Structure 1
């Protein structure tokens, strides 16, 4: 019996499933967070006349969201769902990178690395104001 080689079509299926399930999982997490938030704060009236932005690094924000989600904070769970939604295409890019490396397609490997570098710089500069 001949063993099948793991090919490009397999990676395309994995990437498609990653995008599909990543979006559904993130939406489900955000929905659950919304339900929890409404259960605890549904009767409150929000004051949107004043907006105060906290000057925090990306690591502080992620740590705060993680700690809040662990403790069942609806707001943090919503933000965790948003973070998952943001990470879904990032994981897609990383999977593409591995696919190009396995296929020895070095041009697309370099292009993908440039995209990852641009995203990393954008995130780093966006949170260091």
Structure 2
């Protein structure tokens, strides 16, 4: 005999929450990247970039901790990379929320 689960929220509610979560995550990450781009252009807008040689030693934000240290200094590249991280973590947050909603509803398929 199957147990009926208590419905804390309907399927439509979960869809609305997930849609809002994705929308807010993308808009927030886009805003952070835009802010970083504006800061970058204000500080380095008139300089010319040499694209002939790639120097990988300039990659100072290879870890999340380094990105947060750069954000404390309002470094434009760190702010842009943080926006990209927000964009990456948005669907991950969606999956985690979906798992929790299935567990709350006891929907094990």
- Is structure 2 residue 45 aligned with structure 1 residue 42? yes
Give the RMSD, CA atoms, in angstroms.
Answer: 2.0
Match of 2:75 in 1: 73
- The 1-side partners of 2:36 and 2:108 are apart by 42
Structure 1 runs not aligned, ≥5 long:
108-129
- The structure whose RCO (Cα within 8 Å, separation 6+) is larger is 2
Q: TM-score scaled by structure 1?
A: 0.71
Structure 2 runs not aligned, ≥5 long:
1-6
Match of 2:91 in 1: 89
Match of 1:103 in 2: 105
What is the CA-CA distance between 1:100 and the residue it aligns to?
A: 1.3
SS at match of 1:84: helix
Q: TM-score scaled by structure 2?
A: 0.82
- The 2-side partners of 1:7 and 1:70 are apart by 42
- Is structure 2 residue 20 aligned with structure 1 residue 17? yes
Rg (Cα) greater in structure: 2
Cα deviation per residue 1:9-65 (whole Å; 9 max; x = unaligned)? 2221111101001000000000000000000001111111222335x9x9x511111
